[in-house]
Amino acid sequence: MTLEPREFLTKMEKRMLFNDEDKATLQANADWGKQIAPEMTEHFYAFLNRDEEMANILNQKDGRMDRLRATFTEWFSEMFTGIDNWGDAYAVRRWRIGLVHVKLGIGPQHVVPAMATVVREVNNKIEADGKDVGINNALKKICMIDLAFIEQAYVEVSSSAVRQETGWSEALFKRMIATGSNSM
Ligand code: HEM
């Protein structure tokens, strides 16, 4: 895989203007994040389960929903702690989450509305709990960074799979995409 998770995280932090102040705000509210995580998890899967296609994926295997509730709650809390202060461990974990979704065929059409739900529900909760707007700004940024990991995993895995299967170089692959998109 060509993507180096830590490098990608650093690039996304810069692009998203996710700064030390945002990190400090999130860490200062880590207890609140942990406390609201189970409620956010319920909102999240209630939203996903309303869509027939997504509900099918979620309920395909026995025990999957229980696993998902636990891993999503953990993921939500980690946005506040940054795991290792948004270091290697955070980057590798986000990259792995991206790969899991790619393997399951869960694409942008599923993930983008899902992350929009997280942002919306957090916004509602922040208003209800009378929390500072700074938390909302910081959380929106880290949500978008996490989303970028999942989306980028999709692109990286698809292109590397095609190149591996065909032996095409990266330059040839890019040229073919550019040519192909002209005819769409
Ligand atoms: C905001 C977007 C999302 C986040 C943050 C998220 C988070 C996670 C996490 C943390 C895991 C565990 C990964 C691991 O095992 O290492 C996971 C797995 C999974 N996610 Fe998501 N997810 C998102 C969107 C979706 C959507 C839209 C679907 C389905 C339509 C979905 C279905 C699944 C499934 C089926 C698994 C594997 C569960 C298993 O069998 O263990 N996820 N997700």
List domains and CATH numbers for the chain.
5-182 (1.10.490.10)
- Residue 2 sits at φ, ψ, to 5 deg, of -80, -25
Tokens 């696993």 correspond to: 67
| b/e 46-69 (16+ beta carbons within 10 angstroms → b) | ebbeeeeebeebbeeeeeeeeebe
Mean pLDDT of 118-137: 95
| Cβ(104) – ligand 1 distance below 6 Å | yes
Residue of minimum CA distance from atom 24 in ligand 1: 111
Ligand 1 midpoint to CA 64 (Å): 10
| Cβ(157) – ligand 1 distance below 6 Å | no
Question: Is the predicted pLDDT of residue 181 greater than 80, yes or no?
Answer: no
Query: Model-level pTM?
Result: 0.94
34: three-class secondary structure by DSSP: helix
87: three-class secondary structure by DSSP: coil
State what percent of residues in the chain have pLDDT above 90: 78
- Give the pLDDT confidence of 60-91 residue by residue, as tens digits: 988 999 999 999 999 999 999 999 999 999 99
Question: Is the predicted pLDDT of residue 12 greater than 70, yes or no?
Answer: yes
Ligand 1 midpoint to CA 173 (Å): 29
Residue of minimum CA distance from atom 7 in ligand 1: 72
Mean pLDDT of 30-58: 96
| Cβ(106) – ligand 1 distance below 6 Å | yes
145 contact partners, CB below 8 Å, separation of at least 6: 9, 12, 13, 16, 18, 94
Closest atom of ligand 1 relative to the 97 alpha carbon:
13
Question: Is the predicted pLDDT of residue 133 greater than 60, yes or no?
Answer: yes
43: three-class secondary structure by DSSP: helix
Question: Is the predicted pLDDT of residue 1 greater than 60, yes or no?
Answer: no
pLDDT at residue 182, rounded to an integer: 80
pLDDT at residue 14, rounded to an integer: 98
CA–CA–CA angle 116, 3, 23 (5° rounding): 50
- Give the pLDDT confidence of 55-66 residue by residue, as tens digits: 999 999 889 999
| Cβ(37) – ligand 1 distance below 6 Å | no
Confidence tier at 161 by pLDDT (50, 70, 90): confident
State what percent of residues in the chain have pLDDT above 70: 99
| Cβ(57) – ligand 1 distance below 6 Å | yes
What's the chain's length in residues? 184
